[in-house]
Amino acid sequence: MLVPLVASWAADVQPGDPLAEPGFQHFYNLEYDEALAAFTAEAAKNPSRPDVYNHIAQTIVFRDMYRSGALESELVTSTNPFLRRPKLNPGAAEQKEFWDAIGRAMQLAGDRLKQNPNDVGALYAMGVSYGLRANYNFLVRKAWLDALSDATSARKMHNKITELDPNFVDARLVQGLHDYVVGSLPFGWKFLGFLAGYRGDREQGIRTLKLVAEKGRINRVDAAVLLSAILRREKRAGEAVSLLNDLSQRFPRNFLVRLELAQMYGDLGDKTKALAVIDQVDQLKRANAPGYQKLPAEKIRYVRGNLLFWYNDLDRALEDMKAVTAKTNELDLTTGVYSWMRLGQIYDLQGQRQLALAAYQQAVQIAPGSEAAAEARRYMSSRYRR
């Protein structure tokens, strides 16, 4: 879908818990290379299953998002997040790998639909492929109209599934996300031809995602992750805390979930709990806990410094941001550029204009085309004030 936090997975429902499979465990614990290896091996064993190729394509996208720092929910809290997500720049080999996987998935699903237009598994797989292609068009090509068109095609496929089988709750994830996205678009976009019949409804979208998170089998985790980001954007962080606590227990190596939880507590005004979660992450990092070895210490300091900044604890925030900006080469590009911009804001609030200007200039130099750089340029013209 257009906000590519998650996407649906299995097309042909297998017995047992699909999320217990190694590929999914690696995926949800941020171990994308291992997940890709597992799904590639599965494709070799089951070359006629379209869903396996969707898994491969999905993992490629998420791996690139993770590397660029595009998975955090703070990136979807701006006024128009669905039109302003940072662009990804995967290499040519990764792009080919993605398109090969999507092409194979759509071919296999299409062949089955020619034999039986009501093949629920094939409809599901084709809908997922359209959703993944929408993600890619949006994130990599920045082709907004193509992305929204593909997302709408995914919605149509999964609408047909619920017509055929109303109890297939997992197919409602795409419907709920599409409702929320279309309901969030600027007014003029809603007159696009391929959106005919879809007015969008943010609240209905949230209700549908809650249903999938509670009763879904394949997509319950995806729905919970999506809901967490959406609820933060809607300034309803309190509703997301239980979701994130559950996810952190189920996927203990996923440090991003814990960092998100800290930010949710921060949004709720509970500085003590937010800092306690960050301290817990720091302890896990220092203990070399599984999954935490690859978490840069500077990332933890960025999250803490950012929290302290919003609580106007500027001296402590400054200490963290100075440490982070000293080692931006250890961080993803998104965190690096935001750390310099935040440092500039702290200096402005402390009346140190020349230091602020130098920090803003660094933000612009690191990623001149980013939203953070554009914001930094504004503060170079007019100092940051609260």
Q: Is the pLDDT of residue 191 over 70?
A: no
pLDDT in tens, 209-233: 999 999 998 899 999 999 998 999 8
pLDDT at 188: 55
The amino acid at residue 5 is L
pLDDT at 80: 35
Ranges 64-78, 111-125, 314-328: which has the least confidence:
64-78
pLDDT in tens, 346-369: 999 999 999 999 999 999 999 898
Residue 197's pLDDT band, with cuts at 50, 70 and 90, is low
Helix (H/G/I), strand (E/B), else coil: 234: coil
pLDDT at 39: 97
Copy the structure tokens of residue 263. Answer: 């930010």
Closest to 129 measured CA to CA, from 9, 2, 48 = 9
Mean pLDDT across the stretch 168-194? 76
Mean pLDDT across the stretch 131-155? 83
Residue 75's pLDDT band, with cuts at 50, 70 and 90, is very low
Q: Is the pLDDT of residue 3 over 90?
A: no
Fold of the 1-234 domain? 1.25.40
Residue pair 179/158 in contact (Cβ under 8 Å)? The answer is no
pLDDT at 123: 96
% of the chain beyond a pLDDT of 70: 88
pLDDT at 17: 72
Structure-token match 């200039």, residue found: 361
Residue 195's pLDDT band, with cuts at 50, 70 and 90, is low
Q: What is the mean pLDDT of the chain?
A: 88
Helices (H), the chain: 22-28, 32-45, 50-68, 92-115, 120-136, 144-164, 172-184, 202-215, 220-233, 241-250, 255-267, 271-286, 297-310, 314-325, 333-349, 353-366, 371-381
Q: Is the pLDDT of residue 72 over 90?
A: no
Dihedral in degrees, nearest 10, Cα atoms 128, 86, 65, 275: -120
pLDDT at 86: 54
Q: Is the pLDDT of residue 277 over 50?
A: yes
pLDDT at 240: 94
pLDDT in tens, 7-47: 444 445 444 577 778 999 999 999 999 999 999 999 999 99
pLDDT at 259: 95
Q: pTM score, two decimals?
A: 0.87
Going from N- to C-terminal start, the domains of the chain cover: 1-234
